[in-house]
Structure 1
Amino acid sequence: MARAVTPQRKATVTVLAWVVGLVIFFPILWTVLLSFKTEADAIGTPWHVLASSWTTEAYATVQQRSDYLHHFWNSVILSLGSTVIGLIIGIPSAWAMAFVPGKRTKDVLMWMLSTKMMPATGVLVPIYLIGIKTGLLDTRTGLVIVLTLINLPIIIWMLYTYFKEIPGEILEAARMDGASLWNEIRYVLTPMAIPGIASTLLLNVILSWNEAFWTLRLTTTNAAPLTAFIASYSSPEGLFFAKLSAASTLAIAPILILGWFSQKQLVRGLTFGAVK
């Protein structure tokens, strides 16, 4: 029998949820606030920052100094390109692990997940040298390949979880009706797993968009995404807080908007299969 939730308990949980949410969101809110201040005001005390006047001077300087659209389109191409290629590889791989019996399936899944535990610096030099030898250093193609490989374990793990929730009898019925392997994946499995695939797509777009380690070390100008755009406002002379905040706000705004409109899908995807 379910336990009744008292109004006091509900109010307490609501207040705690708002407090936790505000604490998590506060750095972003403060970054946006500093972006509308002058450099002199941005380094002041919190009360001084709140009381100072608002200005778009930092945004004007950022627009004059940097090509925002160039970095923005690089981020879009890298995020969508790596995610789409990852899904093309991940859907058949997850299907095979979910519906083809095998004693080593869990071992393979754990091996793929273990690659995410390895420090990225451990493979930086080999990948950097490969990029130089192949001419893919500071190119969108090279970065798409790297981002695809580092996010592929997450794509396969998530899709595997979704596919395991689909009854195997449905696929067997499709085979009995004469469906080929390709038609089974395309017309039966994929439409049933659209919510899971959409959640995987959204999460991996966010991960690729926010990836900083590889994008800062494998690019300089041509393929530099918004992470490099932000880093360009940190100099040996010091941090220009207002300009850095303006650049950060411009970089995170698109992904914040995407996350806001797709939050229900993201929550459903991240919690799918957790509750039976």
Structure 2
Amino acid sequence: MSSVDKYRVDITSLKSELTLLSRKRAQLASRLAYLKSTKAVCPRPGLGATHGLMSDELLERDRERGKLLLSHLSEKYDEQQNIHLQNLYRLAGVTAFKVRDPSANGKGDLLGIRIECFALKKFGAPHYMLLSVNGKTNSYDIYKYTVPLHIPLASLAKKYLHKDLGAFVRAVRREIILDVNKRTHLSCLSNVVAIEADDACELVKLEFAFPKYGACIAYLRCNMVDIKSAVVTKFVQKQADDPDVDDEFQGEETETVRDEKLEALMPGRIDQLCVRLATIE
């Protein structure tokens, strides 16, 4: 199931839960209306006016309790609905909010943009952008941000921000998603015992331990989507110079050799690397 399909399933589930809560609220409201209109507690014949007065007091008390119950349920319902609505927006990946920054040098009214990505069954750390209004062009400028430095934010802003705010946010989110997906695919590879990478995850070192094939180290050069090139070395048993050396001692040392078989498998789409490596025994 793709990430988009997972989002659709989550959204459908949340919508179904909202529908059930709406029905429950309607049922409770109907029950309260019944309690208000009915004479559920009626004086029985022959008990006199005192008992009738007590029955009226009990009925009024039930009505007040019903009002309090409905008010409480209404507040809980609204609170739950707000939570579900917020979760729906989070699943969409982008939320906007107003910000007031007293230290913004005359740019106190800011537009905040929060971008979130869902991976490995959870939301990662959100990324924020604060945008100020450019009075001359009636457009937005980037004021502050927490977007990773290797995301080309300046070039995206130059291309989209002064023309179309929505297009700019979508472009930034796309770059963030590609970055997250690349790191996720690399970190979840089978038989990987260690991984090292630079901040942009463009130069990556992977250490493999295949059960039958042996131990290997792969040095990769990547962009956002593809592995462009790779250098792979394999650890093999070092051959002894002296043929009379006991085999027991030959296995204690290893040497690294170029592994052209693995090197040929590495280049290509990062999200398909696991499929290519599945051919290694």
The TM tier, using the shorter chain, reads under 0.3
TM-score for both structures, normalised by structure 1 = 0.25
Structure ranking higher in strand proportion:
2
Which one has the bigger helix percentage?
1
Bigger Rg, which one = 2
